Structure 1
Amino acid sequence: MTETAEAATATGPAAARAAVPQDRTRYLTASGVALWGSQIGQVAVPLTAVTVLHAGAGGTSLLKTALTLPFVILGLPVGAWLDRVRRRPVMIGADLVRAAALTSVPVAAWFGCLTMTHLMAVVVVQGVATVFFDLATQSLVKDLAPGALLARTNARLATITQAAVIAGPPLAGWAAGLLSAPTVLLVMAAGYLWSAGWLSTLTTHEHPTGDAPRRRLLHEIGEGVAFVARQPVLRTVVIAGSMVNIGIAGVMTLLPVLALTELGWSEGTLGMFLGTGGLGGLIGAVTAVRLADKLGAGRAVLLVGIAVAPLAIAIPLLGRPVPGPLAATGWALVMLKVGFDSVLMTTFRQQVTPTGLMARVNGTMRVLFTGAVALGAATAGALATAVGIRWALAASAACLACVWIPIARSPLRRMTALRTAP
């Protein structure tokens, strides 16, 4: 071997391996900014509508719908398209689009020409760009975190997410009071530019999506849906995740009504109760990989589910006969399970999905999970009207309490090693 060849051998792969930790840090920084921005935006955008445009409940509800609808409509085609292209440029482009859209809001507000139509358009653009960003980032992580690093990277992402869920809304409210809601959106725009800057520094090469000839987009969408339907681990992830989303959506829809009207709680007390859930989710995300290493990943998911998921039944019994602090403890443990699963279930999904199908599988999952949220909220409202709030809460809690059953009946419970699909 020549001296030049030896140098290339020594520096090439070593440099590539050395780039992985740096790129993981950059990726987590960029994704963290986006996650925090999403949580802050869920408060800052409605506050802008209320404080600047004097919108009512109907207007803020439309804004919420406009933000989530793109995931249902675009999840499948965007997922299929992302399996044809490099994901990093898409993520950078999505950040730039979100930054430009958000910047237009404070500028219009300062000139006194902001309208509800303008704000609605910005929310729609935000939602569409977030579809592209989220599905791309869920696919890119497999290249940045090979092998056993995958679960640890997912754990860090889940920790960032839970921290944003806990602290993002209060931070948005405090910042809006200090700076004004439109100014908070300008800060968010700067954050998206920062995210794009970090993504532009990534050096890891994305794995090719394959040399298969391009077919009609509808056919490729069908391949992703069919793969999810026939893959037993993915089927279990879909069923368990949908049960969680249905249950949480129902609880979050009805609990404020129960707490504020029947129990006479203040908004602050309700916020503290829900905050215990965020804290539980954070603990679950932080401890997931460590416990999975000790028990085996699939066994850990099953045992934690059996141990804590049934505690969800305390929610419909809140105040009568279960006292608030005890119910809050149960809610924190249930959300610990949710945070725990968010790490390991995401890793399972990435492990069994080939690279060439990753974005399509992520898109299919996102559509199904978003639909489950909508179904949970709508069903809870209908049941509350028909049989009362507590019985409707009991139905939602039952979905959470039984989430371990499909896991116990699937091959997922036997998964131990963290392997990456080819």
Structure 2
Amino acid sequence: MSPLPRVAAGGLFRMREFRFLLAGAAAGQAGAQVTLVALPLVAVLELDAPAFQVGLLTAAETAAFLLVGLPAGAWIDRMRKLPLLVRADTVRALAMASVPLAGAAGVLTMAQLYAVALVTGVATVFFDVAHQSYLPQLLPRDRLVAGNGALEAVRSTSQVAGPGIGGGLVQLVGAHLAIAANALGYAVSALFLLGIRRPESTPQPAPGASLRADIAEGLRFVLGQPLLRVIAVTTALGNFFTAVLMATQTVFLVRVAGLEPAALGLMLSVSAVGGLAGALCAGRLAGRFGQARLIWLSALVTGPFALLWPLSGKGTTALFALASGVVFFGSVVYNVAQVSFRQALCPPRLLGRMNATLRFLMWGTLPLGALTGGAIAGAYGARAALWLCAAGFLLVPLPLLLSPLRRMRDLPSTVHEDRGETVATG
């Protein structure tokens, strides 16, 4: 593969390959954010599903991180990343397209929604791990924070515009037909990725390597590195309580707060402004406070605003939006800092396994949180689930505050592979 190009400051967007990667991310994220609103509304409004079944649907969307999270990384490290990204987008587009078709034919069921969520989730595992492993092939190490910040800005912009569009589409054409926007977004993403022309060689596994040995090597690298361990624990905890929120917020906002689909989408769009702000200023904040310090500060300062979720209700949904905006700001700043650190620290040959191992550890809590949220909402009401979520966000920073990160300003930049030791440079 050709060497990484030198990217001058401010020249990131002059790279054709990165522009296409960014455009594909924008298309896929836009469609996914429409579905964030539309898919649970299909269950709540069209299929009249109880709270637990809505939580089960959220769990199905994320179950793949537990089912295939670890082997996915070993497989991805043996494959070219770009063709895998295109195939994953194609599978997701076809799965999502089945929902409006079945809805139009009058045969849509919760069983199909579960199946679509599972298939899309598996494809998303492969897409996300390959995407994070592909970026360091396009950008030099000193531009990874800028590159991840740009991708987070795209994701956050989609989170601002997508839910509002999704709610409007649901109001206009119905929830199941609104899902077509997601299928279109994944298809457009695949087309942009096909436009990337950068040569990519097929990775060659070490002689005698096996899938089990490759998975074990990825686990040893992550678990042998103290800073990666604490990031994994913290993110897993945050994702668990985020899943409680995702599993119950539609039920709460529609059945308790009384929002119509368009108002629900608009409220979620307003909430996402915080995430966009976090993506736009993450790089500057890292420069001012230090990348290590920013990781724990972002969680500590923004987490308490989660208490506003259960305090909101009919006529006070602005509190819900404010809480989401501030918490999303902190989450995006945290993610830009820790993902860039992971990418810079890991040897290229281990990127897929490192990302997949961390996704398994960190995202594997999502289906558990969704099931917990759905069960509590079904038994005690959606507001009770939101109280659990709020209390959980107060606990998220604790692992970081008890770790060496608390005493660091900047993160180490190299790692000794054999022992997982970090070495600070510069």
TM-score, normalization: structure 1? 0.79
SS in 2 for 1:84: coil
Aligned positions of 1:149-168 closer than 5 A: 149-168=143-162
SS in 2 for 1:148: helix
> Structure 1's 225 and 332: CA in aligned 2 closer, same or farther, altered over 3 A?
same
Aligned positions of 1:182-201 closer than 5 A: 183-201=177-195
> Structure 1's 16 and 145: CA in aligned 2 closer, same or farther, altered over 3 A?
closer
1:91 CA displacement: 0.7
Equivalent residue for 2:424? none
1:403 aligns with 2:411: no
> Structure 1's 86 and 124: CA in aligned 2 closer, same or farther, altered over 3 A?
same
Whole-Å separation in 2 of the counterparts to 1:164 and 1:63: 22
Whole-Å separation in 2 of the counterparts to 1:108 and 1:403: 41
Q: Residue 49 of structure 2: which of 41, 53, 57 is its match?
A: 57
1:227 aligns with 2:221: yes
Equivalent residue for 1:353? 346
1:370 aligns with 2:363: yes
1:301 aligns with 2:295: yes
1:266 aligns with 2:236: no
Whole-Å separation in 2 of the counterparts to 1:223 and 1:411: 24
1:209 CA displacement: 4.4
- Residues 313, 394 of structure 1: 8 Å contact kept: yes
1:370 CA displacement: 2.9
Q: Residue 93 of structure 1: which of 73, 87, 90 is its match?
A: 87
Q: Residue 210 of structure 2: which of 212, 216, 219 is its match?
A: 216
Whole-Å separation in 2 of the counterparts to 1:265 and 1:55: 20
Equivalent residue for 1:131? 125
The one-letter amino acid of 1:407's match is L
Equivalent residue for 1:283? 277
The one-letter amino acid of 2:73's match is G
Whole-Å separation in 2 of the counterparts to 1:343 and 1:109: 38
SS in 1 for 2:141: coil
Q: Out of 158-167 and 245-254, give the one that drifted further.
A: 245-254
Whole-Å separation in 2 of the counterparts to 1:215 and 1:240: 32
1:24 aligns with 2:18: yes
Aligned positions of 1:112-127 closer than 5 A: 112=105, 114-116=107-109, 120-127=114-121
Bigger radius of gyration among the two? 1
- Residues 34, 181 of structure 2: 8 Å contact kept: no
Q: Out of 20-29 and 124-133, give the one that drifted further.
A: 124-133
1:233 CA displacement: 1.8
1:100 CA displacement: 3.2
Whole-Å separation in 2 of the counterparts to 1:141 and 1:376: 30
> Structure 1's 113 and 375: CA in aligned 2 closer, same or farther, altered over 3 A?
closer
> Structure 1's 383 and 418: CA in aligned 2 closer, same or farther, altered over 3 A?
same
> Structure 1's 99 and 265: CA in aligned 2 closer, same or farther, altered over 3 A?
closer
Whole-Å separation in 2 of the counterparts to 1:161 and 1:86: 24
The one-letter amino acid of 1:266's match is G
1:151 CA displacement: 0.9
Q: Out of 358-367 and 180-189, give the one that drifted further.
A: 180-189
Q: Out of 63-72 and 339-348, give the one that drifted further.
A: 63-72
Give identity over the alignment, percent: 35
The one-letter amino acid of 2:61's match is L
Provide, for residues 49-93 of structure 1, a one-character-per-residue CA deviation record: whole Å limited to 9, x for no partner. 678xx5231565554443322232111111110011111011111
> Structure 1's 214 and 158: CA in aligned 2 closer, same or farther, altered over 3 A?
farther
Whole-Å separation in 2 of the counterparts to 1:288 and 1:44: 30
Taking only aligned residues, the RMSD between alpha carbons, in angstroms, comes to: 3.8
SS in 2 for 1:290: helix
> Structure 1's 62 and 284: CA in aligned 2 closer, same or farther, altered over 3 A?
same
- Residues 312, 397 of structure 1: 8 Å contact kept: yes
Equivalent residue for 2:197? 203
Whole-Å separation in 1 of the counterparts to 2:215 and 2:133: 16
Q: Out of 122-131 and 249-258, give the one that drifted further.
A: 249-258
> Structure 1's 22 and 259: CA in aligned 2 closer, same or farther, altered over 3 A?
closer
Unaligned segments of structure 2, at least 5 residues: 418-426
The one-letter amino acid of 2:131's match is T
> Structure 1's 195 and 305: CA in aligned 2 closer, same or farther, altered over 3 A?
closer
Q: Out of 276-285 and 207-216, give the one that drifted further.
A: 207-216
Whole-Å separation in 1 of the counterparts to 2:6 and 2:365: 41
TM-score, normalization: structure 2? 0.78
- Residues 312, 330 of structure 1: 8 Å contact kept: yes
Q: Out of 358-367 and 82-91, give the one that drifted further.
A: 358-367
Whole-Å separation in 2 of the counterparts to 1:390 and 1:108: 33
1:41 CA displacement: 2.6
The one-letter amino acid of 2:48's match is G
- Residues 153, 279 of structure 2: 8 Å contact kept: yes
Whole-Å separation in 1 of the counterparts to 2:184 and 2:379: 47
Provide, for residues 344-374 of structure 1, a one-character-per-residue CA deviation record: whole Å limited to 9, x for no partner. 1211221222222211222222222333233
The one-letter amino acid of 1:94's match is A
Equivalent residue for 2:326? 333
The one-letter amino acid of 1:288's match is A
Whole-Å separation in 2 of the counterparts to 1:402 and 1:227: 26
Aligned positions of 1:168-187 closer than 5 A: 168-179=162-173, 181=175, 183-187=177-181
Provide, for residues 90-134 of structure 1, a one-character-per-residue CA deviation record: whole Å limited to 9, x for no partner. 111122223334444555556x37453655544433222222212
